[in-house]
Structure 1
Amino acid sequence: MGLLDGKTALITGAGTGIGRETALLLAEAGATVILVGRRPHVLEEVATAVDDAGGSAFTRPTHVENAGEVRELVAWTREVAGPVDILVNNAGGASRVLDVRWISEAEWNTVMGVNLTAVYLLTQAVLPDMLAHGGGTVITISSLAAVRPTLLGGAPYGAAKAGVRNFMTYLRNTFRNDLVRATCILPGEVNTPILDGRAVPPSEEARAAMVQPQDVARAVLLCATLPQRTVVEELVIAPTLVRDTSADVEASRWIGAPEDAREER
């Protein structure tokens, strides 16, 4: 008997990295997993892996920063698998331009949408069922950039991740006596595809020393499977080894800068 038998877990950003590994672990623990992302073929690959391991998975391509699509997602989930018991807000992404001097309003808003607005929309959509059924669990993957922001993640990413950290605290303080648990996980550098977009993509050796997606997924599993009487309020998970990122930071400073600024440096 699995610790999550009979539970429905909705996981965003479920096609790769932390989301994929989380889906596999929660399904192994007995949950029916709802895999949410933008690329249908990637979600189907994860669903096949879950099915092959004896689990149950459904896929739903969704733009999680879109209120209408989120409402449709949650209503559809209720129909095919029951109300959401566990929400894992994992979808995220950083901007191409990282220095606040050069970033456009459109790019800023895009980062805020997927990292912050989506968490609000999804939480708002699942809360009524959680309150009606005696509780639930909301786990949000923030970042150490929330408390240690640098040019590696960029200005909007750090601000958005700080925002979801604050929002999880609000959620916990407001609904904990209704047995709605709100957990914020703050990983350091994780070896996920987002690193491919860095100004200086880390080497394979550097990536091997980072936190791995399955490490964060194990933390999510812990938070989701503890008895309802217990909540992990916040969890920091970081690489043991600290790498020198000074060259990365300097390169990040000039992405998107106008030519005259580059010439003056």
Structure 2
Amino acid sequence: MELLNGKVAIITGAGTGMGRETAKLLAAEGATMVLVGRRQDVLDELSAEISADGGKSYVRTADIASKAEVDALVAWIHENVGLVDILINNAGSASKVLNVRWIAEEEWNQVLDVNLNAVFLLTQAVLPDMLSRNTGSIITVSSLAAVTPNLLGGAAYGAAKAAVRNFMTYLHTTFRNEGLRAVTILPGETATPILDNRARPPRQEERDAMVQPEDVARAIHLVATLPQRTVVQELVIAPTVQRDTSGDIEISRWTGAPESDLPQTLK
């Protein structure tokens, strides 16, 4: 049974990790997927995989932090695909420098652009499609860093993920009676390429014990395929076993610090 037959869904950050796995699951449910990301080659590869499995998808590269590009993206979808039923804000970005003492303004802004401002721009662009028909779902991947911010994700990432969680709650309370389902997914540590930005990238055996991209994809699949009458406002998905991250946090504390500020043990 194809629970999303006839639906048009945009997913950002579609090329790898959670986005890739989610796109495949929703395409298998009959949704026409608009795969959005930065790299044409990985999007084309995913689109070919979806087609081989009998699904339908379109590929568009875009800078989702640019209003002009987001508006052009949605206009293209209207012309070539149809009105948008589902928006999945999955694209994410973390900073290299994690301590607020050392992070540069440019790096701070870049993290907020991808994790928060892009969600606002895409939401604003698709809201008319949804509100005009009293139906639609906006699903945003936040993070447990929104609930417990620390030096693992960093100051900018935690702030952006908390802000986007707040924004999704705003959408829920404001538009639920107009048919909009606004859902926040809050993953714990997940084995995606974003971990490579960590001050100490986790070892493979550590990643194997984390939430996997396909686990988050199944959570998104659940909230997207529930009947329109039902909304899961927030869903937390985390590793069963909590690993000791104290050593990672200490390394993160000093990443990006000028040498003059480093403790003697690190010089």
Separation of aligned partners in 1, 2:134 and 2:163: 27
TM-score, normalisation: structure 2: 0.98
Q: Quick one: distance in 1 between partners of 2:232 and 2:182?
A: 8
Question: Greater shift after overlay, 194-203 or 112-121?
Answer: 194-203
User: Counterpart amino acid of 2:186?
Assistant: L
TM-score by length of 1: 0.98
Match of 2:86 in 1: 86
In the alignment, which residue of structure 1 is the partner of 2:70? 70
* CA-CA distance at 1:263 after TM superposition: 4.2
Q: Which amino acid aligns with 2:217?
A: A
Q: Is the 8 A contact 2:98 2:154 kept in 1?
A: yes
Tell me, what secondary structure is at the counterpart of 2:262? helix
Q: Which residue of 2 aligns with 1:234?
A: 234
Structure 2: tracts of 5 or more residues without a match: none
RMSD: 0.8
Which residue identity does 2:132 align to in structure 1? A
Q: Cα deviations across residues 110-142 of structure 1 (Å, max 9, x unaligned)? A: 000000000000000000011112210000000
Measure the CA separation in 1 of the matches of 2:244 and 2:263: 26
CA distance in 2, matches of 1:124, 1:6: 22
Q: Describe how 1:26-41 pairs up with structure 2 within 5 A.
A: 26-41=26-41
> Secondary structure at the residue paired with 2:191?
coil
Stretch of structure 1 that moved more, 196-205 or 28-37? 196-205
Deviation at 1:70?
Answer: 0.3
Moved more, 13-22 or 77-86: 77-86
User: How many residues get paired?
Assistant: 265
Q: Does 1:19 align with 2:5?
A: no
Please give the secondary structure, in 1, of the residue aligned with 2:129. helix
Match of 2:236, SS?
Answer: strand
Distance 2:174 2:191 in 1: 34
| Partner amino acid, structure 1, of 2:253 | R
Once the two structures are aligned, what percentage of the paired residues are identical?
A: 65
| Structure 2 counterpart of 1:248, one-letter code | D
- The answer as to whether partners of 2:95 and 2:197 remain within 8 angstroms in 1 is no
User: Hey, which bits of structure 1, 4+ residues long, moved more than 6 A?
Assistant: none
Contact 2:147-2:162 within 8 A present in 1 as well = yes
Q: Letter of the aligned partner of 1:221 in structure 2? A: H
- The residue correspondences of 1:151-162 to structure 2 (distance < 5 A) are 151-162=151-162
Aligned residue number for residue 185 of structure 2: 185
Question: What does the per-residue CA deviation read over 1:120-168, in whole Å, with 9 as the maximum and x for residues that have no partner?
Answer: 0000000001111221000000000000101000000000000000000
| Aligned mates of 2:243, 2:111 — CA distance in 1 | 26
Matches for 1:50-199 after TM superposition, within 5 Å = 50-199=50-199
- 1:48-82 CA-partner distances (Å, limit 9, x unpaired): 11111100010000111110000001111112211
CA separation in 1, counterparts of 2:48 and 2:19?
A: 15
SS at match of 1:59: strand
Task: Provide the secondary structure at the position in 2 that maps to 1:253.
Answer: helix
Q: Could you tell me which amino acid in structure 2 is paired with residue 235 of structure 1?
A: L
